[in-house]
A = this chain, B = another copy of it.
Amino acid sequence: MAACNTSSIRRDCFTCQSRERAEWCALNKEELRLLDKAKVVREYRPGEVIFHQGDPCRGVHCFETGMVGLRKIDADGNSILLGLAYPGDTLGYRSFLVGEDHGASAETLKPSTICFLDGATVRTLLKHNPALGLQFLQTVARELGAAEERILQSVTLSVRARFAHLLLVLKDRYATSGKDGRFELELPLARQDLAAMIGIRPETMSRAIKQLEEDGVAYFSGRSVAVPDVKRLLREIEPESYL
């Protein structure tokens, strides 16, 4: 019985890089010990489901490395990507906090390492350390702001504008180079998932891409995109801003 209890390398909450960027940075040594003892680490391959929409929510997931998408499906089978999650994020905390079943599915888009924390432990920590609750409060409030923004955009903006907006959001995280307005980025998603992010059909996404290329706003090749001028992209979102 060696010290190796998980999948190859030892993971612990004390040295976890992701934790420091997460809500859990509020915890002290003793609380970290509790966290470390309670956590269950798991490695996921791309395309695996962490939890399904409708599943009972038994705790939260700490996202350590990789990339995951949050997908929401309605009764007719229409699905959209609510968003992407990154290392440091906590998954499934919303359902946990209100004590409901999961309102969305979480699936890995790249190989990922994710820790599970059972509800009892989280509840204990929340009760024990008020700062943790305030951290979550910040996170949820920020998310709510983003969601409300998205509601507005989804009913007022055209597909083209929403796509431009998505590219700008992705740019902040994935842009490789950038001088005087020019930039390139490597898309983290397939076209159909890009489409799902703004709630449109893959066919419509294809056409939107073609249009942007015809107008010289952005050029697509596989998953790489080249944008000659950010301002052109910005103008797609606020049509009448300065004429």
CB <8 Å contact, B78 and A145? no
Which residues on the B side are within 8 Å of A157 (C-beta)?
A: 74
CB <8 Å contact, B145 and A94? yes
Q: Which A residues from 63 to 117 make CB contacts under 8 A with B?
A: 72, 74-76, 78, 80, 82, 93-95, 97-98, 100, 103-104
Bound: A65/B225 CA distance, A = 53
Most buried by B among A138, A141, A147, A200: A141
CB <8 Å contact, A154 and B154? yes
Which residues on the B side are within 8 Å of A145 (C-beta)?
A: 94-95, 98, 100, 103
Q: With an 8 A cutoff between CB atoms, is A214 at the interface?
A: no
CB <8 Å contact, A141 and B98? yes
> How far does the Cβ of A168 sit from chain B's closest Cβ, in whole Å?
14
Asked, given contacts A94-B144, A98-B142, A154-B154, whether A103 binds B137 with beta carbons under 8 Å apart, the answer is: no
Q: Which A residues from 135 to 151 make CB contacts under 8 A with B?
A: 136-138, 140-145, 147-151
Which positions in A face B, CB cutoff 8 Å? 72, 74-76, 78, 80, 82, 93-95, 97-98, 100, 103-104, 126, 130, 133-134, 136-138, 140-145, 147-157, 198-200, 237-241
